[in-house]
Amino acid sequence: MIKNKYNRGQFTQARYDLNVMPVWQRNITGRGVVVTIIDDAVRSSMRWPDTPRDTVHLYHSARCTRTLNYDVIFMGLSASGEQRPHRRVRPTEAMSSHHYHCLCTKELWVLLIHLLEHRSKTTHTPSFWGYVTPLLQNLLKGAPAAGQRLPSVGKDPLGFTWWLVTHLAQLGQYSRNGSLHTEKQFQLEHNWSFVCELLKSTCDPKGSVQEEQIRMHVHCCLSLTMLWEPNTIAVTTLWEYYSKNLNAPFAVPWLGVSGLGSVSRSPLSLLEMAQACCLPTPLGSAEHTQLYRACSSFSIFLRVLALHLSQENAGGAPWRQIKGRIYSKFHQRRMAELSESGLMNFLLLFLVLARSAELEDVTGRAYDLMALLPAGSMPPAHRALLWRGQLALLLLYVGRGLDAGAHAERLATSFAQVAREFYLKTTEPSRKLALWQPLGAYLEGVAEVLETSGHLCQAEERLLNEGFAMLLPACRQSELASALGFLQNALAQLRRVHQRCSQSTSFGPSSSSGWTPPPSLAKEHHLAVASALWTHFFPFLRSLRLSQTPPPQLADAAAGFTVLALDMPSSAPPDLQPHPVQSIMQCFGWDEMLHPLLVSRYLNHLLQNSDVVASVGSAQGVCVRAWLRCVLQQHLHRSTDGTESRAGRALDEQLCELTRLVMRLPEVESVLQRAGLQPSAVKTEPKPALAVFIKAVGRVYSGLQLLSERSTMVTQALDYVGDILKYIKPYQLNKSQEGLQLSYWAVGCLVKHWGPLLATSKAQQLLFRIVDSLLLPHSLFQQDPPTQVLSALKESLPLYLQGLAVAVGVSQSQGAHLKKQLRSVINQYLGRFLPATPSMGAIANHPVLLAACEATPTPRGAGLRGNILQVLNDSFLQFKGHAPPPRLAAVLAFLLELLRRSADTDPALLTLPLPPLLRCLMLVNEPQVRRLSAEAVQLVVERCASSSAEGHCEQTVSILRTFVEENEGVYDQQMYSVLETVSIVDRCSVETLIPVLSLSLRNLEQKRGLGRNTSLRYRHRLTHYCKMSI
């Protein structure tokens, strides 16, 4: 007996005769439901299938079965309380919600299925579907069965039927013991006849079924296809519907953007979408459950189609059955009617067909159909999508190791036509902007084809046609960046494939699966692809290399071509032979007209490659020269307001990396090690590294002894610096403060540390040019010289003076001329930076004084001080008659500071300024001048006296004697006053002059007449120092 007690609704009360279904009792408890069923009928009927049944028995069994089926279906439809599965379930939860409330109800369904299936086999009664299908048909029609009250199924009986059939089919996988069988031979038989009726109702245009319902219905159909064998009628019914609605958006409004297909996908993503349709997820997985949210109904249909085409052991029959139906739906008019969404669906359809059926046949038909589209009036968005689809089909060929050269040729021809229109100057800017959409899609797609291809073939070569030669010159900055980025990826992929091929040739065939072309054929294809890149891309790069605003990708692409020339030298064009690597490096790295940012970024790519460094060999010095030029010109690209531009910031970053790489060059490391420096200790900042390198070269040269080695080193050093004055000339024109300071500093370091080197016959011309261009330029003699130049020169002048002093000391052929140049420089800047009146700050920081007074005394410093004293004596301390020289106090302050800071004891050097100092003491009455002169005279005389072993200094005595002879009889009293001042410091020298002074006094008295000049004799009391009789 079954007792049904429900809180809501009225169900049929059914009593089952004990004589019909004897002894077996099983309790199934649900909410408000207690079911008692007789079990032995099932067991006995399964144990004795041939037991005779009378007509009454069969009649009662059929009636009870129909009633039981009706009741359990109604339980799934209208449970009491909150358990209302169908009425509460959303389409998004169709696969995750169930028609039973508990495991007990589920077991009842499973037992009922097995009971009816067994009875069908043993008593030839209807099967489980035979009982369920009429009941569901009545629910769909809304007509009650005889003697039954039809329950309400809400507003969507069709959706309820799909949902219930799908879950009942899933229960058919369970055995009567509750174990799950995945093998189809142990599962419940299919019910495609009824499902096809449901599909016709779903696809009936009169039914006005919306996408949100259709998506759930097709999702259920997909689940049934995975449970049962695919059905041709079901696939055909669905295709008939979708072939008429390809342009539909297939969107569910309340899902938002979820489930909407994007039409701007790349070829690879399109192919991945198609492959996802061909590889369905397991039935109970989360991915399968969420298909409603993730995919449109058309995408779910493609999964059904893929399952149909991929049936095992079908021998291609499913494809032959559906092929004509699909192809016949497309013709020229239909293709022209496709919207962008429709074209997207068309492409996905043929990608699924190509993936699951005959690739070559489907691809050929797809290309033929796409060729029917009007090329002239096709919107750019359609063309972009069309090319993506064609490239996605080519990706299928690439994935299978096949060559699609013919299809690639058709696509490349279309690309060249669009690129030509993009190139023409008559094309409107708005039209060019629109055309970039398909052109950019082509670049992206071809890049994916190249990256995916394991063996570059004719298809890849044909995709790189003359269209690129027209595209590149017409690109704007952002478009050019994309095009050059594509080129860089293409070069890298070609090198990877070529290297892999070379390694497989050397070490044997690769173990990876798939077809591998013979090495000779592969290399031929690689050369063809390389030739296409050289032909259609490299000329444009070479034309762009002198741009003052080069895009960063230009250096990257040029470096890619350089490495390609290293790997495949024969592929380079004839004008780069016979040394293509060096030729390209000359174009993009060594040319002095190139932008520093281009050079630094380009060399950074190459100097990291040990093979490139080894191939350059002796040209490493040219790389050093390029680095030096980039360092010197790093401030050329600052904004006019002094702020750093984006290019300037990028150059700073690139220069630091380039400095690190240059310091690691074998030739540079050798120089540093010979100079006693560790390369690892050198800073990577450009300016400090440049100073260290210049100093190292100078130190290495000074340590050489053989003339041949010195000559070689001079040549090498001159190769490092090149035409350095040309590099810094732009700063002299634009007067950039930072640029002038850097350039004057760098050349100053060169002069200081390379003094002996620059004094040689090979290098002295460079030294003369430096003096003429930087130290004694014509602009310096103008009335108002540039303040920026003077400021930069003032900071770096000590470096120049110290280096010139060394060059003067070692020069053999041009020593006199160099000395003259040195004194001209001293003369020019000593007066230019000298204040009008003595100022301790201005005097102490005078660049000439800083150059002359080193912390550690050296012969170079003594020679420089001698030249400075000579210039002071000749140009700044000479009286014009009785008139003192201008700025005498400031000059004397400078001289006194120079004497105080230096520790010279050489009388020949010290006594150079003594004659004018004595004259200042004698003729000038200004207190400041007299004080400074007296201090300077005392300092000179004292040091000369201390250095003499004879008690008096001959140089001092000689100068004093000349001083007496020149001024006797004219400035007698002033002269004796000066001698009195000197005698305080150096008594011996003055005593040595007493005979001379006595004779001079007698001669003077004789000239003036008889008698003694008492006042002259005793006023200065020279007898205080020694007795004398006159």
Count Cβ neighbours within 10 Å for each residue of 163-198 and write b for 16 or more, e otherwise.
Answer: bbbbbbbbbbbbeeeeeeeeeeeebbebbbebbbbb
- For 509, other C-beta atoms within 10 Å of its C-beta total 9
Instruction: Assess whether 838 and 943 both reside in one domain.
Output: no
Give residue 703's pLDDT: 93
Domain match, 812 and 921 both: no
> CA–CA separation, 113 vs 171, rounded Å?
8
Whether the per-residue pLDDT at 1029 is higher than 70: the answer is no
Most confident of 128-142, 485-499, 947-961, 1012-1026: 485-499
Name the residue with higher pLDDT: 891 or 313.
Answer: 891
**What is the per-residue pLDDT for 364?**
95
* Average pLDDT along the chain: 84
At residue 87, the 3 state secondary structure works out as: helix
Domain count, the chain: 5
Query: Which run of H or E residues covers position 29?
Result: strand 26-30
DSSP state of 967: H
Separation of alpha carbons 531 and 525, rounded Å:
10
The reported pLDDT for the residue numbered 21 is 35
Does 571 map to a domain? no
Q: Is the pLDDT of residue 927 over 60?
A: yes
Instruction: Quote the pTM value.
Output: 0.82
pLDDT given at position 946: 85
Question: Range of 755's domain?
Answer: 735-880
Q: List, as one string, the DSSP characters of 853-867.
A: --SS--HHHHHHHHH
Residue bearing tokens 């490391």: 669
* pLDDT one-digit tens code per residue, 213-239: 999 999 999 999 999 989 999 999 999
pLDDT at 62: 57
Residue 327 has pLDDT above 90, yes or no: yes
Is residue 220 situated within a structural domain? yes
Burial tier of 854 (Cβ tally within 10 Å: 0-12, 13-18, 19+):
middle
| Residues 50 and 169 occupy one common structural domain | yes
Let me know if residue 262 belongs to a domain. Answer: yes
pLDDT at residue 942 above 50?
yes
Both 870 and 967 in one domain: the answer is no
Say yes or no to pLDDT of 178 above 50: yes
Mean pLDDT, residues 405-416: 95
Residue 159 and residue 204 in one domain: no
Last residue of a domain, one of 373, 394, 416: 373
> Residue 134: is the preceding peptide bond cis (ω within 30°)?
no
CA neighbor of 871 nearest in space, from 851, 856, 855:
851
What does the alpha-carbon distance between residue 599 and residue 491 come to, in Å, rounded to a whole number? 20
Asked, for residue 32, whether it belongs to a domain, the answer is yes
Q: What is the percent of the chain with per-residue pLDDT over 70, rounded to a whole number?
A: 84
Is residue 606 within 8 Å of 559, Cβ to Cβ? yes
Which among 498, 530, 562 is the end of a domain? 530
SS3 state at 408: helix
Contact of 564 with 494, CB cutoff 8 Å:
yes
- CA of 53: how far to CAs of 44, 70, 344, in Å? 12, 24, 61
Domain presence at residue 655: no
Q: Name the most confidently modeled range: 55-64, 257-266, 696-705.
A: 696-705
- Residues 388, 271: Cα–Cα separation, whole Å: 10
Length of the chain, please? 1030
Q: Is 22 left (phi over 0), alpha (psi -120 to 50) or beta?
A: beta
Q: How confident is the model at residue 267 (pLDDT cuts 50, 70, 90)?
A: very high
How far is Cα 385 from Cα 147, in angstroms, rounded to an integer?
A: 60
Does the structure show a pLDDT above 70 at 112?
yes
Long-range contacts made by residues 206-209, C-beta under 8 angstroms, separation at least 24? 207/158, 209/158
Residue after which a domain boundary falls, among 139, 156, 179: 179
694 vs 699: CA distance, rounded Å? 9
* DSSP for residue 270: H
Specify the range with the lowest mean pLDDT, choosing from 86-100, 242-256, 772-786: 86-100
Please enumerate in sequence order all residues whose Cβ is within 8 A of that of 704, keeping only pairs 6 or more positions apart, or say none.
710, 713
Count other Cβ atoms within 10 Å, centred on residue 610.
9
Considering the domain architecture, whether residues 306 and 429 belong to the same structural domain is answered as no
Give pLDDT, residue 153.
59
Q: 174: which strand partners?
A: 180
First vs last C-alpha separation in the chain: 171
Q: Domain for residue 380, yes or no? A: no
CB atoms within 10 A of CB 382: 21
Q: Are residues 875 and 828 in the same domain?
A: yes
Query: What is the model's pLDDT at position 58?
Result: 46
- pLDDT, tens digit, for every residue of 365-400? 999 999 999 888 899 999 999 999 999 999 999 988
H/E run at residue 27 = strand 26-30
Residue 179 token pair: 């174990």
The mean-pLDDT minimum among 45-54, 538-547, 745-754 falls in 45-54
Give yes or no for residue 436 having a pLDDT over 90. Answer: yes
37: pLDDT confidence band, cut at 50, 70 and 90?
Answer: very low
pLDDT above 80 for 482: yes
Mean per-residue pLDDT, 198-204: 93
pLDDT digits (tens, 9 = 90+) for 116-146: 888 888 888 888 898 889 888 888 887 655 5
Instruction: Report whether pLDDT(25) > 50.
Output: no
pLDDT for residue 798 is more than 60: yes
Same structural domain, 160 and 203: no
Percent of the chain with pLDDT over 90: 55
Phi–psi pair at 361, nearest 5 degrees: -65, -45
Q: Give, as one character, the DSSP assignment of residue 638.
A: B
Which is higher by pLDDT, 53 or 902?
902
Tens digits of per-residue pLDDT, 142-151?
Answer: 765 555 555 5
Centre a 10 Å sphere on the Cβ of residue 204 and count the other Cβ atoms it contains: 11
pLDDT at residue 1028 in the model: 39
pLDDT tens column, 47-85: 434 444 444 444 445 566 666 665 666 565 553 233 344
In whole angstroms, give the CA distance from residue 621 to residue 382.
Answer: 55
Q: Which residue has the tokens 């732009």?
A: 730
238/130 Cα distance (integer angstroms): 25
Least confident range of 317-326, 566-575, 783-792, 1021-1030: 1021-1030
CB atoms within 10 A of CB 911: 21
- Position 143 scores a pLDDT of 62
Q: What is the pLDDT of residue 52?
A: 43
pLDDT score recorded for residue 1014: 61
DSSP strands (E only) in 932-1012: none
Q: Cα-flanking dihedrals φ and ψ of residue 644, to 5°?
A: -85, 135
Beta bridge partners of 28: 35
Question: Are 362 and 268 contained in the same domain?
Answer: yes
pLDDT band for 920, please (50, 70, 90 cuts).
Answer: very high
> Is the model's pLDDT at 8 over the cut of 80?
no
437 contacts 384 by C-beta, under 8 angstroms: yes
Regarding whether 352 and 306 lie in a shared domain, the answer is: yes
Give the per-residue pLDDT at 662: 96
Element (H, E) at 749: helix 737-753
pLDDT of residue 639: 62
Q: Are residues 155 and 236 in the same domain?
A: no
Q: At residue 874, does pLDDT exceed 50?
A: yes
Regarding whether 209 and 142 lie in a shared domain, the answer is no
Q: To 5 degrees, how large is the angle CA 248–CA 254–CA 259?
A: 55
Q: Indicate whether 640 belongs to any domain.
A: no
The answer to whether residue 813 is domain-embedded is yes
Whole-number pLDDT of residue 232: 94
